[in-house]
Amino acid sequence: MNYIDKIQPIHLDILKEVGNIGAGHAATSLSTLLNRKIDMKVPSVRIVPFAEMMELTGGSEKEVVSVSLSIEGEAGGNMFFMLAVEEADRFIQKLMSDESFTFYDRHSHSIGFSAMQEMGNILSGSYLSALGDFTQLKLQPSVPELAVDMFGAIISYGLLEISQYSDYTIVIDTLLTEMDEGDGEVVKGHFFLLLSPDSFPVLFEALGAGYNE
Amino acid sequence: MNKTGEIVKVGIADMNIVKPPDVIRTSGLGSCVGVVLYDESTRIAGMVHVMLPNSGLARENIKNKAKFADTGIRALVSELEKRGARTIRLKAKIAGGAQMFQFKSGSDLMKIGPRNVEAVKEQLQAARIPILSEDTGGSSGRTIEFDPSTFLLHIRTVNKGEQTI
């Protein structure tokens, strides 16, 4: 039986809580770092075919800035923090007070790239450490890598291992939004957590909801 | 681009067939490889978006042949034959197989781009299908579109511009 077929509604609720705790901590870190208001949506946890996964956030050709890392340890998978390029540009322009900044020009703006990389490190680090505390699992993140490219080209890396088992993936998607003083939305960033199939039994076991209950 | 034709889309781990005036397209190729096979005399073309090099990597029984280079190319050839193409006349153009991340601690799967390209080439060689042009490797994602009326493959990248091969 395919691992996806064993997933019950309670498991999806647990994964929602995983997203909630992880991204909640990341949102707090970001808010502290920037001294701004960060809004977090309830995580969306869904079982989607690969084709649908590739069309999230505006399609597989959509140009994004991504900080990605792989997770190893007692549970494994991949995590991506992604922003649309124009929003990431605005974010770094404001952070560095440099209106000429753009992610399309790596050479003249290397400090902005470092700033984004560092922010990605902090956010994914707080997401994962919260997840580790919550589950009591040992999780080791790789060094996060920054990429400016098409959404599909990046997220497909998170599907590679899963594709050995299935044509479907479980995606834990949490949206963080930076708000301005008038509660207007400024910048939106997505956290995508794609766990490897082996990780689900471990995770559910750790949280007291095995597959066979 | 042809104004009257439609764009036939190929998703990840997916394949499709096209005839003029339509064109065929797949977007957001990272480590995946887009393989185009076409028969110039019947102007029929097919594209497969391969994710993994070998169906032996499947951990469970997988019905989707288009996911792997070996089964995907075989399935595409047989589909093209059914639609009137002849294997002996088929030619190939391929693109993709980038290495987008380093992920030092990551598994071998993170280095899959070059392995996909190699597997595609082996499979095409076994089927005696010549590769007329390719744009593979590197570290950029690609969107590709093939026009079966001109036999040209158009490639777009975010960081390295556009080209036609």
The pLDDT of residue B16 is 96
B31 touches chain A (CB under 8 A): yes
Look up the ipTM and state it: 0.88
Q: Where are the alpha helices (DSSP H) in chain B?
A: 69-82, 112-126
Structurally, what CATH architecture does the domain formed by B7-164 represent?
2-Layer Sandwich (3.30)
Does A148 contact B159 at a Cβ distance shorter than 8 Å? yes
Instruction: Compare CB distances from B141 to A68, A149, A161 and report the shortest one's residue.
Output: A149
Check whether the bond before B21 is cis (ω within 30° of 0): yes
**Residues B52-102: tens digit of each pLDDT:** 999 888 877 777 899 999 999 999 999 999 999 999 999 999 999 999 887
What confidence score (pLDDT) does residue A9 get? 85
B11, A147: Cβ pair inside 8 Å? no
pTM of the entire predicted model? 0.89
What's the CATH fold of domain A3-206? Answer: Chemotaxis protein chec (3.40.1550)
B100 chain-A contacts, CB cut-off 8 A: 147, 149, 153-154, 157
Q: What is the mean pLDDT of residues B138-154?
A: 95
B122 included as an active-site residue: no
Mean pLDDT, chain B, rounded, equals: 90
What's the CA gap between A128 and B115, in Å, rounded? 31
A14 compared with B144, residue with greater pLDDT? B144
Q: Where are the domains of chain A?
A: 3-206
Please indicate whether, in this complex, the C-beta atoms of A163 and B13 are within 8 angstroms of each other.
Answer: yes
Per-residue pLDDT of chain A (213 residues; tens, 9 = 90+): 577 778 888 888 888 888 888 888 888 888 888 788 888 888 889 889 998 899 888 889 999 999 998 888 888 899 999 999 998 998 888 888 888 889 988 777 788 898 898 888 888 888 888 888 888 889 888 888 999 999 999 999 889 888 888 888 988 888 888 877 766 667 888 889 898 888 888 888 888 877 654
Examine the pLDDT at B50 and tell me if it is beyond 90. yes
Average pLDDT on B31-44 reads 96
Nearest CA in chain B to A52: B11
Is B110 in Cβ contact with A157 (below 8 Å)? yes
Q: Which of A70, A143, A163 is closest, CB to CB, to B67?
A: A163
Q: Residue A200 has what pLDDT?
A: 87
- Contact B27/A142, CB-based, under 8 Å? no
Give the span between the Cα atoms of B149 and A3, in whole angstroms.
44
User: Tokens 């036609």 map to which residue?
Assistant: B164
Which one of the listed residues B8, B13, B23, B32 is annotated catalytic? B32
Q: B38 CB contacts (<8 Å, ≥6 apart)?
A: B44, B45, B46, B85, B90, B91, B92, B93, B146, B148, B151
Residues of A in contact with B27 (CB under 8 A): 59-61, 150, 152
> How many Å apart are CA B56 and CA B18, to the nearest integer?
29
Cβ within 8 Å, pair A151-B101: no
Residue B35 — very low, low, confident or very high, per pLDDT cuts 50/70/90? Answer: very high
Q: What is the pLDDT of residue B71?
A: 94
Residue B58's pLDDT is: 81
Write down the residue that tokens 């989607």 correspond to: A48
Task: Report the alpha-carbon distance of residue A177 to residue A25 in Å, rounded.
Answer: 14
Answer yes or no: do A142 and B105 touch at CB < 8 A: yes
All structural domains of chain B with their residue ranges: 7-164
pLDDT tier, B30 (very low <50, low <70, confident <90, very high otherwise) = very high
* Minimum-distance CB partner of B51 among A104, A143, A160: A160
Q: Which of B51, B104, B110 sits opposite A163 (nearest CB)?
A: B51
CB-CB neighbors (< 8 A) of B56 in chain A: none
CA angle A179, A181, A185 (to 5 degrees): 25
Q: Is A89 at the interface with chain B, CB within 8 A?
A: no
Q: How confident is the model at residue B159, as a pLDDT?
A: 80
Length of chain A, in residues: 213
**Strands across the sheet containing B15-18:** B15-18, B44-50, B33-39, B91-96, B131-136
pLDDT for residue B2 is more than 50: no
